[in-house]
Amino acid sequence: MNLTDLARVHDKDLAGETSAPETRALMHAIMSEEREPVTVTQPGHKVRRRLVLGLATMATAAAVAVGIVLVGGPVTSYANAAVSIEKTDEYFSVSITDPTADRQRFEEAFRAVGLNVTVKVIPVAPNDVGKLVGPIVPDGFKWHGSIGTQGITPCSSVFCAKVWMPADFPGRVVFGVGRPAKPGEPYADSSPVDPNGEEALSGYPSHGKTVADVRAELNRRGLKAGYRLVWQYPDGGDGRISWFDEAVPRSRVKDDWTVASTVFHSSDTVDLYVTPGKDAGPAPSPHPEPQWYDMPD
Report yes or no: 23 and 66 within 8 Å, Cβ to Cβ: yes
What's residue 140's pLDDT? 87
Please, what's the b/e burial string for 213-240 (b: 16 or more CB within 10 A of its CB; e: otherwise)?
Answer: ebbebbeeeebebbbbbbbeeeeeeeee
- The DSSP bridge partners found for residue 84 are 79, 95
Report yes or no: 124 and 179 within 8 Å, Cβ to Cβ: yes
Q: Which of 228, 222, 265 is nearest to 248 (CA)?
A: 228
What's residue 9's pLDDT? 43
CA torsion angle for 34, 35, 36, 38 (degrees, to 10)? -170
pTM value?
0.68
- Report the relative pairing of strands 269-275 and 224-234 from DSSP bridges: parallel
If the chain, 297 residues long, is cut into consecutive pieces of 10 residues, what is the mean pLDDT of each piece? 42 44 48 39 32 34 36 78 92 94 94 92 93 89 89 92 91 93 90 80 95 98 97 72 88 96 96 94 83 82
Q: What are phi and psi of 146, to 5 degrees?
A: -135, 170
What's residue 14's pLDDT? 40
What's residue 233's pLDDT? 77
What's residue 13's pLDDT? 43
What's residue 194's pLDDT? 76
CA–CA distance, 93 with 161 (Å, rounded to integer): 6
